[in-house]
Amino acid sequence: MSFNVTLVLCDKMLVSSSTLAAEIFNFAQSLAMATAHPTRDLEVRRVSTDDLAVTTSSGFEIQPTHCLNESFRSDLIHLPAIWRNPRPIINRSERLLDWISKQHRLNTIFTAVGTGVCFLAESGLLDNKPVTTHWHYFDQLKKSYPNVFLQRQHFTTKTGNIYCAASINAMAEIIVYHVERIFGRVIARQAQRHFFHEIRNLSNAIGYSDEEESSITDEAIIQAKIWLQDNMSKHSHISDLSANIGMNKRTLNRRFKSATGQSPGDYLNEVRMSFACELLQNTDLSILEVASFSGYNNQSWFSSRFKKWSGSSPSGYRKSVRSKNFTS
């Protein structure tokens, strides 16, 4: 049985918010076929809001392959991010919104990234449900759709068959999650590795939020945490964070510790160590590669920090968790 993916196109969409999803799915199918893994046929279609070609935010023109009124089955529908204000696009997408509602009644899976969640919110599918979006659009989303449960602290949310991602990186995690459901864990891990620089964390590292778990009300500290998570692989320093959010280091440390109970440096270390654990458990990357991807340019220093944090060396941790997985 084939698995049918439909990519929704719209004017002013961010190209990578759609094409990356298609590339990950196509890579997974090609790899499954090349390695003789059991696989399902994959078909990727493109539809637009008015069945016409769209002009992306980068000025590229993309043609749809199908029309909304055609009869075809969609197992997963992907909604892209729209550059800047999505309202003009939403206002002229009545046909698409009706189609989305009909597809939802057929139990179709939806994935949406950034401002693409507005298509779902406008259709009423996110009323009284958790949702996230790009942090630049938090306030406007809540103003436009007061009935949604905005999750400012989370990069991904899941409610039923609806998956929302705050960024393209988070979207890639969701797509890999579905790759695993379709093609299996081995293929999903290879996709993670192949698209590593597009995928900041593994899909089970962040997880999904169905309710607001954090009590942090300081918006600057919320954004500081997001920045640290986004940049933890880049050998970043707290001084970089301070400059990015426009706050001196002393004030940043005081407000961060007041809101979270730990310093920005301690929080960054927690993020890096947790990510290193995921890599050690779920990939075959060398210890040097794990160190580099976790934000350390010195393997010895990384190993020392990891042992202090976990009580075990990186190689010892990998051996231990894989042994437990194998015997469970």
Q: What tokens does 263 get?
A: 């310093």
How large is the average pLDDT for residues 75-90? Answer: 93
CATH of domain 3-206: 3.40.50.880
pLDDT score, position 70: 86
Percentage of the chain surpassing pLDDT 70?
90
pLDDT score, position 198: 56
Residue intervals in the chain for CATH 3.40.50.880: 3-206
Q: Is 306's pLDDT higher than 90?
A: yes
pLDDT score, position 280: 85
Among 17-21, 169-173, 324-328, which stretch is predicted with the lowest mean pLDDT?
324-328
Q: Is 212's pLDDT higher than 50?
A: no
Q: What tokens does 31 get?
A: 């790899």
CA dist 302 and 296 (Å) reads: 6
- Residue 229 banded pLDDT, cuts 50, 70, 90: confident
Averaged confidence pLDDT in the chain: 86
Q: Is 204's pLDDT higher than 70?
A: no
Among 49-58, 200-209, 221-230, 256-265, which stretch is predicted with the lowest mean pLDDT?
200-209
pLDDT score, position 164: 95
Residue 233: name the closest of 208, 191, 255, 202 by CA. Answer: 202
pLDDT score, position 45: 94
Residue intervals in the chain for CATH 1.10.10.60: 219-312
**Diameter of the chain measured on Cα atoms:** 60
* Secondary structure (H, E, C), 124-171: CCCCCCEECCCHHHHHHHHHHCCCCEECCCCCEEEECCEEEECCHHHH
Residues with Cβ within 8 Å of residue 6, at least 6 apart in sequence: 44, 45, 46, 47, 66, 72, 74, 76, 77, 78
pLDDT score, position 5: 95
CATH of domain 219-312: 1.10.10.60
- Residue 114 banded pLDDT, cuts 50, 70, 90: very high
pLDDT score, position 197: 60
CA dist 62 and 168 (Å) reads: 19
- How far is C-alpha 208 from the geometric centre of its chain's CA atoms? 10
Q: What tokens does 143 get?
A: 């103003």
